[in-house]
């Protein structure tokens, strides 16, 4: 029998890697500017202030948690440039911020009040009641669970002819979840105006990125869904801002989603219940301390003469005072009534739940 002819042998070389643009970087780790600064000095200083606010907030909360005054919490220490830079690329009047749970600094930029942030970490339900005028979804504990919703929101805005763009943030671990893949796929199909911002901080609790994926980058996953993916230096405020701004413009002009991988590092803990010394190589931590996004901006702002040391010290004092005032306000917030949780189950939850409210409400008042 004659063998079937084959045009060429099957070649599997090279099919694993997608051609990706190089990592976007504006500032090196010592604060040297490599490209033209993509924002005004004034805005850069404001961005730095919010990064500092996020850092000091996290440090304060970890301390309060150690005193038993806060619940288990997940600090964003080391990732302030990734979240603030992304938030700065949004127009808060039209654009939505959809968080996971480690992007508080960016949420502060977008308008989430510090007082509510403190209340989040004491377990007060009002922290989840995003203020009415703020285009933001509540924190999300289910990894990547917010992504289908963010894509649906973006798609819904597009169907309405609304100019809004949705920024949806998640982590490296989130890229292993089905929700990420289903959401990315739908975003591609519907050309939803969404920016999928992956904060690749190297760790999903103790799981290192090499155990999370065999892909060379997380950004390249976008190629499979038919839209661009790009890596940026997540510890460089300017790089994140410029990259996300380009993605936002692309979304707003109707060209659809972008996956941005902000390469950063979790300098703190997964949560206050975590002990990274069990799994994190010491040298690795030290390497990333040198790449601290705050240090980098601090050096840059001083070198450029945007602010002097006295100005930075004043900023530290101002941030400290803001945190003090907000924590005082948070502590004055009345404790939630035990009946509170019945109020938001459903508009009309039915006679059984209404009856339970009467009973629990009475018990709650003692």
Give the residue numbers annotated as catalytic, written as ranges: 266, 270, 279
Q: Does 154 bind other proteins (CB under 8 A)?
A: yes
Q: Which is it for the CA torsion 156, 162, 163, 164, positive or negative?
A: negative
Cβ closest to other proteins, residue 139 vs residue 238: 139
**What residues from 318 to 347 belong to the interface with other proteins (CB under 8 A)?**
341, 343-347
Cβ closest to other proteins, residue 289 vs residue 345: 345
Tell me if 136 sits within 8 A of 97, measured CB to CB. Answer: yes
Member of 92, 111, 156, 361 binding other proteins (CB under 8 A): 156
Q: Pick the stretch among 21-29, 179-187, 228-236, 257-265 that binds other proteins (CB under 8 A).
A: 179-187
Tell me if 254 sits within 8 A of 247, measured CB to CB. Answer: no
Beta-carbon contacts of residue 310 (< 8 Å; ≥ 6 apart): none
What would the x/- binding string for other proteins be over residues 185 to 224, using CB under 8 A? xx--x-----------------------------------
Q: Which is it for the CA torsion 207, 213, 215, 217, positive or negative?
A: negative
Cβ closest to other proteins, residue 159 vs residue 205: 159
**What residues from 106 to 135 belong to the interface with other proteins (CB under 8 A)?**
125-126, 128-132
- Give CA–CA dist 194/115, Å, rounded: 29
Residue labelled with tokens 């060209």: 255
- Give CA–CA dist 163/210, Å, rounded: 38
Cβ closest to other proteins, residue 13 vs residue 133: 133
Q: Does 178 bind other proteins (CB under 8 A)?
A: yes
Q: DSSP for 231-296?
A: EEETT-HHHHHHHHHHHHHHHHTT---EEEEEE----S-SSTT--GGGTS-HHHHHHHHTT-HHHH
| Greatest C-alpha distance within the chain | 91
Member of 113, 138, 226, 364 binding other proteins (CB under 8 A): 138
Q: If binding means CB under 8 A, how many residues of this protein chain bind other proteins?
A: 44
Q: Does 279 bind other proteins (CB under 8 A)?
A: no
Q: Please report, as ranges, the residues that interact with other proteins according to CB under 8 A.
A: 125-126, 128-132, 137-138, 142, 145, 147-157, 159-160, 162, 178-179, 182-183, 185-186, 189, 341, 343-353
């Amino acid at each position: 029998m004659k063998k079937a002819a084959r045009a060429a042998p099957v070649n599997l070389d090279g099919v694993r890697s997608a051609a990706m643009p190089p990592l976007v970087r504006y500032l090196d780790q010592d604060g040297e500017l490599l490209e033209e600064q993509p924002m005004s000095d004034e805005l850069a200083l404001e961005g730095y202030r919010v990064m500092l606010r996020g850092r000091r907030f996290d440090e304060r909360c970890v301390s309060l948690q150690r005193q038993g005054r806060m619940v288990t919490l997940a600090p964003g220490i080391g990732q302030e440039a990734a979240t603030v830079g992304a938030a700065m690329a949004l127009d808060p009047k039209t654009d939505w911020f959809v968080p996971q749970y480690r992007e508080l600094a960016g949420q502060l930029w977008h308008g989430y009040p510090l007082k509510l942030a403190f209340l989040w970490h004491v377990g007060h339900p009002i922290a989840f009641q995003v203020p009415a005028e703020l285009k933001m979804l509540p924190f999300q504990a289910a990894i990547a669970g917010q992504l289908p919703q963010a894509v649906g929101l973006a798609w819904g805005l597009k169907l309405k002819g609304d100019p809004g763009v949705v920024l949806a943030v998640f982590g490296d671990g989130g890229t292993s979840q089905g929700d990420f893949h289903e959401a990315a796929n739908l975003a591609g199909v519907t050309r939803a105006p969404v920016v999928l911002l992956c904060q690749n901080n190297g760790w999903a609790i103790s799981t290192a990125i090499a155990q999370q994926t065999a892909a060379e980058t997380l950004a390249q996953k976008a190629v499979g869904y038919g839209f661009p993916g790009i890596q940026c230096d997540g510890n460089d405020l300017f790089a994140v801002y410029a990259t996300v701004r380009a993605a936002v413009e692309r979304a707003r002009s109707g060209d659809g989603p972008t996956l941005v991988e902000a390469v950063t590092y979790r300098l703190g803990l997964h949560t206050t219940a975590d002990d990274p010394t069990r799994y994190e190589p010491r040298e690795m931590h030290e390497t990333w301390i040198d790449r601290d996004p705050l240090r980098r901006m601090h050096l840059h702002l001083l070198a450029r003469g945007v602010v002097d040391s006295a100005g930075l010290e004043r900023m530290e004092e101002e941030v400290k005072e803001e945190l003090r005032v907000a924590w005082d306000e948070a502590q004055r917030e009345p404790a939630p009534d035990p009946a509170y949780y019945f109020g938001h189950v459903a508009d009309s939850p039915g006679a059984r739940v209404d009856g339970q409210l009467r009973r629990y409400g009475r018990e709650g008042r003692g």
